[in-house]
Amino acid sequence: MSFIDVTPEYGLVVRKDALRERGVSFEMLLAVMKTDAPLDSDDRLISFGPSFGQEALDGLIEGLSGLGLHYFDDFIEVVGNYPEWCRFKVGYAAK
């Protein structure tokens, strides 16, 4: 299992399969995320962040939902209060 970097500072993780299932291009995703590149990715997941607070994150979630992606099934938010020395990674759990 591979792991990608995530930020606890109002980050988002999107399943790549969800993009294909919902007909969302990578370019459309980047436009909604208002960035040129993700924070990290592998063959199954893409992470974004940090965002500038909860209000900004809420706007990004609204944008992802507007593309037809479903919260929790297709993407999740990553928010936490952790020290600088602590790093998080996310991996795709195969069923």
How does pLDDT run across 34-88, given as a tens digit for each residue? 999 999 999 999 999 998 888 999 999 999 999 999 999 999 999 988 888 988 8
The structure's pTM equals 0.92
Residues facing residue 12 across a β-bridge: 48, 77
The residues, any chain, with a CB within 8 Å of residue 63's CB and separated by 6 or more, are 32, 33
Please, what CATH class does the domain formed by 7-80 belong to?
Answer: alpha beta
Query: CA–CA separation, 23 vs 1, rounded Å?
Result: 26
Which pLDDT does position 8 carry in this prediction? 85
List Cα–Cα distances, 90 to 13, 15, 23, 62, 93, in angstroms. 8, 11, 24, 22, 9
Predicted local distance difference test score (pLDDT) of residue 47: 97
CB atoms within 10 A of CB 13: 22
Look at residue 95 and tell me whether its pLDDT is greater than 80. no
Alpha-carbon distance of 20 to 53, in angstroms, equals 29
In the predicted model, is pLDDT for residue 21 greater than 80?
yes
- Torsion sign (Cα): 69, 87, 92, 24: positive
Please report the pLDDT score of residue 76 as a whole number: 96
